[in-house]
Amino acid sequence: MRLVIARCSVDYAGRLTAHLPSAPRLILIKADGSVSIHADDRAYKPLNWMSPPCTLKEGTDDQEGVWTVVNKAGEKLIITMEEILHDSTHELGVDPGLIKDGVEAHLQELLADRIETLGEGYTLIRREYMTAIGPVDILCRDAEGQTVAVEIKRRGEIDGVEQLTRYLELLNRDPHLAPVRGIFAAQEIKPQARVLATDRGISCQILDYDALRGIEDDKLRLF
């Protein structure tokens, strides 16, 4: 990974245009080819970015301070450098991946085995469907044949919705899968996460761990 801190301005030219005026910013250049521009706020979210595959060209003789990032669609991220304050490269090696909470991992396994929990006619495509930014917990199809990406959490919070949003953005670029809709599934979903998911067209599903395991609730019920 390459870390560059620089005073720069950034212009995006593609399906729309966007401009970031001159300011000190962090530029992350990852081994997968992605380039993202960060400020010292917004948590982990970049101000602008280019997803892989893309190429970075670091200036020419007549435009020495201009970096141009181009993706396969021809969209451009143009970074105009005014002053580079830091530039370092670090080898991170192969990442072992996220080790999930035991209950969360078991929820994924149980839901894959009982995919009809999501609705009648659902069929499993696969668990841990790999993408360029990580594995989708479950990829399946609904009764109408539409592709559905499912993100599973023990406790559903806003960061889980953001994670699923990124997966959906990537999956919907694949013509063999698109259109892809999302389901955010958890034992408990926080109100703020539910509002954000609904705003983004993502369905929410509460998972009953004991029911998935086939354990009957011993509480009295009225039918």
Q: Which residue has the higher pLDDT, 26 or 223?
A: 26
Is the CB of residue 43 less than 8 Å from the CB of residue 61? Answer: no
Q: What is the mean pLDDT of residues 74-79?
A: 93
Q: Identify the pLDDT of residue 79.
A: 96
22 pLDDT more than 80: yes
Share of the chain above pLDDT 70, in %: 92
Which pTM was predicted? 0.55
What CA–CA distance (Å, rounded) separates 137 from 160? 12
Q: Which residue has the higher pLDDT, 70 or 62?
A: 70
Under the banding of pLDDT at 50, 70 and 90, the label for residue 214 is confident
pLDDT at 95: 72
What is the DSSP code string of the chain? -EEEEEEEEEEEESSSEEEEEEEEEEEEE-TTS-EEEE-S-STT--SEEEPSSEEEEE--STTTTEEEEEETT--EEEEEEEEEEEEEE------------HHHHHHHHHHHHTGGGG-TT-EEEEEEEEETTEEEEEEEE-TT--EEEEEEEEEE-HHHHHHHHHHHHHHTT-TTT-SEEEEEEEEEE-HHHHHHHHHTT-EEEE--HHHHTTPPP-S----
What's the pLDDT at 222? 36
Could you give the CA distance from residue 28 to residue 214 in angstroms, rounded to a whole number?
46
**Has residue 39 got a pLDDT over 70?**
yes
Predicted confidence band of residue 219 (pLDDT cuts 50, 70, 90): very low
Placement of tokens 């580079």 in the chain: 84
